[in-house]
Amino acid sequence: MPLSTTKFVSVLDCPDPRALAGFYRGLLGWTTAQDDDHWVELARDDANSLAFQRAPDFTPARWPSESVHVHLDFYVPEFEDAERLALELGATRVDDPSSTKDFRVYRDPAGHHFCLCVEPVGLDI
């Protein structure tokens, strides 16, 4: 029998949870659900959140020499506008040979990888 979950939270370790939450709040427009010195959580709705946990010794993976095991994908209807916003907020684009016209790889200000992806036709997100 599968888990009966009530909420899904992705958590990113980082040295400054408030700063990184500010980047993603600006990128996604989600609201702050919880905020303290060690944990900041942004919510899209009652069931989906992105949280930032203080990890003073956090060191981002060096890509591609170190494998990236998890990253975030954000499907967007307006790709160029989304990229412009991400870069203005402090993201950096990663020169990734696997990038295509349908997705590009970035690093957030703390060094976590994420992708902006063109919303596939017929996908209702």
Claim: this prediction has a pTM higher than 0.85: no
Whether residue 27 contacts residue 89, with contact meaning beta carbons closer than 8 Å, is answered with: yes
Place of tokens 């063109």: 118
Q: Give tens-digit pLDDT for 66-105.
A: 666 788 999 998 888 999 999 999 999 987 666 677 889 8
Q: pLDDT tens-digit profile of 14-27?
A: 999 999 999 999 99
Residue 3 has pLDDT above 80, yes or no: no
Distances (CA, A) of 67 to 60, 75, 95: 11, 23, 15
Per the CB < 8 A criterion, the answer to whether 41 and 50 are in contact is: yes
- Judged by DSSP in three states, 82 sits in helix
Q: How many helices (H) and strands (E) in the chain?
A: 2, 8
The phi and psi torsions of 86 (rounded to 5 degrees) equal: -60, -45
| Token pair belonging to 68 | 């990236």
* Of the candidate ranges 33-37, 70-74, 117-121, the one whose mean pLDDT is the lowest: 117-121
Tokens found for residue 36: 């303290």
Give SS3 for 42: strand
Amino acid (one-letter) located at 117: C
Report the C-alpha dihedral over residues 95, 11, 109, 43, rounded to 10 degrees.
110
